[in-house]
Chains A and B, each alone.
Chain A
Amino acid sequence: MPRDDAELLARAGRGDQSAFATLYNEYQADLYRFALYLADGPDAAEELFQETWFRVVKHLGKKPVANFKQWLFTIATNLYRDELRKRKVRRVIAGSETSEDRDGGNANGDAPQAIPQTPPAAEGFVLREALREALNKLTHRQRTAFVLVYMEGFKIREAGDILGKPEGTVKSTLFRALEILRHELKEFR
């Protein structure tokens, strides 16, 4: 964690609004992108984004945090996982659990919502759009690991800490995710 983060975190924990705003402005875009790729649709992404920041405020100053970004994304991942569990329970009660649910997969009974589109920005737009589509083919666990490592730049070990999985498991998950993405994207390269 940059040295400033620790200082800002300590100040925010004592109620310093400007320190919190600095941390927020530093990481809000990364968290929003993460939420956007993870959640099913923009509404769910917004909810995940907000709830994550509210949890951060709630837990500020309660225990020492070595790496703020990792902590932030751990909260988001746990919230996302909780939401999946709740959804799964609702479906089990309704009697429509699917095999992908049991694997932690992405089928949710309804048609999976596509990751929201953004306007073209630069070269590689086609591949990026195809990647967005292809990410919907991954299980939730694969998608989370992939987004953490390849989009948010976490190391495998850090992603493992966030996901609560050993490094080897994260590597295997990513390997399977990449194989699926390669297959889905082969016509775009």
Chain B
Amino acid sequence: MNCREVREEVIGRSQLSPAIRQHIDGCEDCRAFYADVQDIQAACDEPAETPAFLREHTLARCAELLRAKTAPGKAPVWQRWCRALDSPRFVASAAIAGIAILITVTAVQIAGAQDDASAIPLKLTIFQVLAQNIFTALFLPALLLFRGRLTGTATRTMRTGE
């Protein structure tokens, strides 16, 4: 190893390898370099104290930012949607809209069937309306159950932050 390599090896090390130690013992310049580095390192050992105002003010501001960051309003979009689903207003609106659509569709289909002279389409239409009603009767509880699970997950997620 030449002197440059030895000096670069000395940098940032607290303990020297036997090879470097041997070189330093036999090389006056490298010995002086090593001694100087140790002196400089000793001078670097200086405690620092953050001014009280800066320390307190920064921590307080960070606390504000952290609070704002983890506040419910700042939850991801999907969580905010889930929370909206959980509101009674949403359930009432969805139910009213569903019933209105159902009545409209049923009325249109019955009117269409009555216009038709054939009896078979009327029977089919009545069958279709019945099927729709059964489907709706099953669908709404299923939707509510799914909503409960979804919002439950979102609430847990928001609570744990994961």
Contact = CB atoms under 8 A, between A and B. Distances in A.
A60 interface: yes
Contacts of B44: 131, 150-151
Contacts of A20: 62-63, 66
Contacts of B12: 149-150, 155-156, 159, 171, 174
Interface residues of B, number: 36
B120 interface: no
A80 B62 CA distance: 20
A24 B50 contact: no
B61 A54 contact: yes
A113 B65 CA distance: 32
Interface string A42-67: 00001001100110111011000000
A147 to B, nearest CB: 8
Interface string A21-45: 1001000111011001000000000
Contact of B8 (A54, A124, A130, A172): A172
5 contacts: A32-B49, A50-B54, A121-B47, A127-B39, A128-B43
Contact of B11 (A12, A33, A36, A178): A178
A7 B73 CA distance: 25
Contacts of A12: 66
Nearest to A31: B50
B161 A61 contact: yes
Nearest to B35: A189
Interface of B: 4, 7-8, 11-12, 33, 36-37, 39-44, 46-51, 54-55, 57-59, 61-63, 65-67, 69-70, 160-162
B55 to A, nearest CB: 6
Contacts of B48: 29-30, 32-33, 36
B50 A15 contact: no
Interface in A138-178: 149-151, 155-156, 159, 171-172, 174-175, 178
B74 to A, nearest CB: 10
A121 to B, nearest CB: 8
A14 B162 contact: yes
A13 B161 contact: yes
A53 B62 contact: yes
Contact of B54 (A14, A49, A155): A49
B66 A57 contact: yes
Contacts of B43: 124, 127-128, 130-131
